[in-house]
Amino acid sequence: MSKIIIANWKMYLSHEQALSVSKALVVFSKRVSADKKIVICPSYISFKDVVDIFRDSRVSIGAQDIFWEERGAYTGEISALDIKMLGGEYVLLGHSERRKNFNETNKMIHDKTRICLENGLIPVLCIGEDWEQKKNGQRDYVLIQQLNEVLEGISVSDSNKIIIAYEPVWAISAGGGVHASPEEVNYVQKVIRQVLLDLYDNFIINDVFKIIYGGSVTPENVKEYTDIQNISGVLVGGASVNADTFNKLIGAT
């Protein structure tokens, strides 16, 4: 089964650094086998230049967020229309850093998902419990609630694609850094699939949805996740901003 590897560069790199990492990766990407899909999510500042650097490669570009309206008086926001027009294909939505620092709610993420799909962009929906919730045995409840509130009322056809990224907050390197065990990730993908089965027809789920894992993925542990049969790939933060490390990680899948 082909695997997707998504790089979330967050706000880690300066514009100059983003260009230099992209130029190195475009060379490496020529040797990546066709069953691996690479997606880079740079900052908005570098977005257009990074799209240009990867233009003739098989690497796709994603945004780290978008706003839920296409145009209007929304100071500081970014339109899905512009991301699409500039060559973006994917959008990270509901990342825990946005939920925590910008009070993003499931309703906002729902609206952003809708506008992504209307513009032919592939949403990468991040869900995950924090350490307190995990400790209190609330993990499954939290994930089910996040998924239901984000996806309820979102109708899909087989031309739509949606990626669900299970990113436990405690596992993200900037917020704890204890990567989840493959057994736990395998259990959670079954919980996610059950929610999808409650919301959508069985026959469409495999066409539309992919489930991936994110949280302290490194070249050393990535294969533990990509080897899980129903996990379609990984979302990588810290280990994606250095071209050699990210290239090693891609090679290790």
| Shortest Å distance, C-beta 198 to ligand PEP | 26
Q: What is the DSSP string of 175-197?
A: GT--PPPHHHHHHHHHHHHHHHH
Specify whether 132 is catalytic.
no
Specify whether 167 is catalytic.
yes
Among the residue ranges 52-60, 61-69, 100-108, 230-238, the one whose residues contact ligand PEP (CB under 6 A): 230-238
Interatomic CA distance for residues 241 and 24, integer angstroms: 11
Q: Write each residue from 193 to 222 as x if it is in contact with ligand PEP (CB under 6 A), else as -, in one continuous string.
A: ---------------------xxxx-----
Q: Binding-site residue total for ligand PEP (CB under 6 A)?
A: 14
Among the listed residues 13, 29, 167, 233, the single contact to ligand PEP using CB under 6 A: 167
Query: Considering 16, 167, 184, 224, which one is annotated as catalytic?
Result: 167
Among the listed residues 3, 5, 8, 54, the single contact to ligand PEP using CB under 6 A: 8
Among the residue ranges 18-26, 56-64, 193-201, 233-241, the one whose residues contact ligand PEP (CB under 6 A): 233-241
Q: What residue ranges bind ligand PEP (CB under 6 A)?
A: 8, 167, 172-174, 214-217, 235-239
- Which segments are annotated as binding site? 8-10, 175, 216, 237-238
Residues tagged active-site: 95, 167
